[in-house]
Structure 1
Amino acid sequence: MVMGAAGSKLEKVLGDQFPEGERYFGLENFGNTCYCNSVLQALYFCIPFREQLLDYYANNKNLGDAEENLLMCLADLFSQISSQKKKTGVIAPKRFVYRVKKQNEIFRGYMHQDAHEFLNFLLNELVDILEKESNALKSPPEALSPSEKISNGPSHPVMNGVRKEPIVTWVHKNFQGILTNETRCLCCETVTARDEMFFDLSLDIEQNSSITSCLKNFCSTETLNAEDKFFCDKCCSLQEAQKRMKIKKPPHILVIHLKRFKYMEQLGRYKKLSYRVVFPMELKLNTAEDADSEYILFAVVVHVGSGPNHGHYVSLVKSHNHWLMFDDDNIEMIDESTVQTFFGSSQEYPGNTDHGYILFYECLGGKS
């Protein structure tokens, strides 16, 4: 295949240091599928997720009536990569891409697609499949009401007037965190708190900033007044209030999406922000309990190009203390210092258009 030379070059570079049992395989691009390939590589090198997906595959691959769904297609692809005899090469994720396009018309055409939108779709789809499987094991199909049968999302059915606990799948265990949305009425001081689940944090970005400052802004206090007043249940009226977000429970895998595409009213279209946003190799996340969770960067999905409707995606991955760049079917080793070249540009008209877009951090110190 095309990448034979690049693959063997990588083997030569790593030599005796080639990690035992690891596989580095590029993914073929079917015209516009770099958005999919870059996210798949980041997920493949998310080791807890990969291991659980391969376990799932081992337990389900022999089920005769196993439905051809997105979860099985992904598990099959990861299994193909991990069981290759060769250490490096290229795989065509044809079955998986076909399933994605069949499942979601957004990804059917040949337009440039958004990697973050794809990641969201994929994780939610996996959760839906796992929840349905779990519900099917708990109750025979005839016991389900028609509304439960067609429910297509995290359902929380009520049994005998008691709300059943939502199902926690291994996808949740890896990626789900909890935010608390707190609103304090400035008249009676009552605090209303609402929990929200998240699989990733989408952060607004500013020029010459850092992930830490973006997270601080995300959690900063905002005053609701004038037309934005808050209806306080205790005062039974609209009141001025203060609102803030807190990270109540951090996820084991923290996915940060930098909002690099902004709608410009004056232009009537989206524009890419090439702002320089520093993302550290190690990140401390301050949580609601004021305890610091420590994270280490292991993957970055990079958007290459000057606008939202065209361009390319590659992924940078840390594996066994080496950094690699996966560009569809091509893989090369890079220095850790090279990762900094993807922070963005401090100039308004950058020469370099390769910018970090989705960051993947893993929590140190075991599963949270």
Structure 2
Amino acid sequence: METLSIILLCVFIPVTVLLSICLLCIHSYWKRKWKSITKENDIEAKGDIKIGNQSKENVKHTLRRGPSHQDPTFVADEKLGGRKKKQKKKSKATKRSIDVENQDGAKQIRVEESKLFEFDPPIGNKNLGNTCFFNSSLQALYFTKFFEDALSLLKVSAPNFQNLKLTKSVLELLEKKNVNHTQELRSVLNAVRNINNQFGRGTQEDSYELLNTLLGGILDELQNGDRTCKPIDVDSGVNGISLKNLFTGIFITIYVYDSCNDVEVDFEEFTTLSIPIADNIDQNFKKLPHRGLQTISSEDPRFDIEKGLAVLTQIEDYEESDLPCRVCNIEGTGKAYRRMLVFTPPPVLVIHIDRFKMNDFNRLTKNAQRLKYPRIFNMAKFCSVANTELSTNSLNYELYAVVVHSGALGGGHYYAYVNTTRMHDVEKWQEHLKRSPLDLEKLKSNVEEFLRKRHEFQDDSGQTEVCKVKDSWFYVSDESVCSASVDEVISHKDAYILFYEVH
């Protein structure tokens, strides 16, 4: 009996151990299998989550680049909360595919691979003592495309850059405008005061005069230093940034004579346009005594600033005895006609509204009349047909900044509106920024010959479809900054300087 018990124990124990081992192995195997199945189910379930209208294959792409959305408002939402890393550059051009609308908002169209130009939100400027006239103009320059890039190029290309006091101080301000930049702000003001001592003495001055002094001072420094800008590559895809080409346009003044039918032209550069407030314009501006005086488009001016530009570019007539022909030197008995038009418009078009007028007591006062100015308008109405490289489609301009003066002539306050989000047509900007220096004497001869031979020109009138993206406007008054609506900006009753750019 004892022997049988021992035999059973010897058999039972190994079998029990073996079965236990087998059960443990089976348990372990199914445990691992269950975890694998559960994990696969979780992954599959998470993959079914959609962002907007995107499937699981697009999730990683979306998190990296942002949603491929048809509503342009996603740009603002992304800028406010969707970016963990703040942009280091003041602007960035990215490729987008978005829905945009035409100027009248009549229909939606699709723009594939458009260029969206974005700036960081504005930072205010400290008032250094009645310097709102200075701060407001600077805000417009902060948000001018490629202004900082053109100055940065000079820093690396001009051996005498350290001697360009105004240019150097403006670039240092632009590089630090998003941090505490009071010292740089004061340096720019001091550099401007060295050119015109009326600025920086603690009194309220004219913002338009300040702007002309600043831009003119920079261009004079470059000209006196005999330096030119060299091409560089920037992230917007625009090469060859010339600071002069950015702001400088060319006027053509055309003279025609009844008696000899001669044509004479002169050229003059400009950086800003000052227009009058025109209640009425001469409706005979289309009755051209010579087709060489024609503009690219013969459309009627619609907005108040277009009426001001029409007055600036209207035909003037004289007796030939008062304005004899300088080509043949014959003193005729007919009429001589003169017209100043835009021959080459700049990519950045600055329009000053002349609000000065004489009152009944023969004193200079401010004209507070409200003017209508468009968000987008076409310069073809004011450009000469003598420039055969221009067309209506290349002359659309979009508003991106407004300097406002509130108050009377002897006092008041300046502030600015700026737009930080705009569409960017690379091809149009390249045409302007890559423009070579013109031989004006040779151009003068060629244009005169062209106008003498041809007296009929094709009218390039016609509305062009203009697209826009949802923009981001800000109100900036010294250090105070807040968002603004486009309705608040357009046709402001105290608008003083308008900043347009090629659209």
What TM-score, normalized to structure 2? Answer: 0.55
The change in CA–CA distance for 1:135 and 1:14 in structure 2 (over 3 A counts) is closer
Per-residue deviation, 1:120: 1.0
Aligned to 2:36: none
Task: Determine if contact 1:315/1:327 at 8 Å carries over to the other structure.
Answer: yes
1: CA distance between counterparts of 2:228 and 2:275?
Answer: 37
Aligned to 1:314: 415
Per-residue deviation, 1:97: 1.4
Of 186, 190, 194, 1:98 maps to 190
SS across alignment from 2:223: helix
Mapped pair 1:300 → 2:439: no
1: CA distance between counterparts of 2:78 and 2:374?
Answer: 26
Per-residue deviation, 1:58: 5.7
Aligned to 1:164: none
The change in CA–CA distance for 1:48 and 1:229 in structure 2 (over 3 A counts) is same
Unmatched segments (≥5 aa) in structure 1: 1-10, 138-167, 345-354
SS across alignment from 1:357: strand
Per-residue deviation, 1:217: 2.2
Unmatched segments (≥5 aa) in structure 2: 1-75, 89-119, 230-239, 281-302, 422-470
Per-residue deviation, 1:280: 0.8
1: CA distance between counterparts of 2:411 and 2:261?
Answer: 49
Q: Equivalent residues in 2 for 1:171-320 (5 A)?
A: 171-207=243-279, 210-225=304-319, 229-233=322-326, 234-237=328-331, 240-264=335-359, 266-286=360-380, 287-289=383-385, 291-292=391-392, 293-307=395-409, 309-320=410-421
- Which structure dedicates a bigger proportion of its chain to strand? 1
Amino acid at match of 1:110: G
Aligned to 2:135: 37
Identity %: 27
Aligned to 1:157: none
Mapped pair 1:126 → 2:227: no
Per-residue deviation, 1:174: 0.3
Per-residue deviation, 1:51: 2.0
The change in CA–CA distance for 1:212 and 1:122 in structure 2 (over 3 A counts) is same
The change in CA–CA distance for 1:211 and 1:187 in structure 2 (over 3 A counts) is same
Q: Equivalent residues in 2 for 1:44-193 (5 A)?
A: 44-57=142-155, 66-67=162-163, 69-82=165-178, 84=179, 91=182, 93-134=185-226, 170-193=242-265
- Which structure dedicates a bigger proportion of its chain to helix? 2
SS across alignment from 1:326: strand
Aligned to 2:22: none
SS across alignment from 1:127: helix
Task: Determine if contact 2:278/2:311 at 8 Å carries over to the other structure.
Answer: no
Amino acid at match of 1:319: T
Of 116, 125, 129, 1:27 maps to 125
SS across alignment from 1:278: coil
Task: Determine if contact 2:372/2:491 at 8 Å carries over to the other structure.
Answer: no
Aligned to 2:500: 361
1: CA distance between counterparts of 2:121 and 2:152?
Answer: 14
The change in CA–CA distance for 1:319 and 1:301 in structure 2 (over 3 A counts) is same
Amino acid at match of 2:322: K
1: CA distance between counterparts of 2:408 and 2:137?
Answer: 20
1: CA distance between counterparts of 2:251 and 2:132?
Answer: 31
Aligned to 1:15: 80
Task: Determine if contact 1:314/1:327 at 8 Å carries over to the other structure.
Answer: yes
- 1:188-243 per-residue CA deviation (whole Å, 9 max, x = no partner) reads 222221111110111111249522222222222121249x9313222443763111
Per-residue deviation, 1:131: 1.8
Amino acid at match of 1:211: I
1: CA distance between counterparts of 2:248 and 2:419?
Answer: 22
Per-residue deviation, 1:247: 1.1
SS across alignment from 2:225: helix
- 1:149-191 per-residue CA deviation (whole Å, 9 max, x = no partner) reads xxxxxxxxxxxxxxxxxxx992211011111111222332222
1: CA distance between counterparts of 2:79 and 2:414?
Answer: 25
The change in CA–CA distance for 1:207 and 1:72 in structure 2 (over 3 A counts) is same
1: CA distance between counterparts of 2:399 and 2:472?
Answer: 12
Rg: which structure is higher? 2
Per-residue deviation, 1:108: 4.1
CA RMSD of aligned residues (A): 3.1
SS across alignment from 1:134: coil
Task: Determine if contact 2:370/2:491 at 8 Å carries over to the other structure.
Answer: no
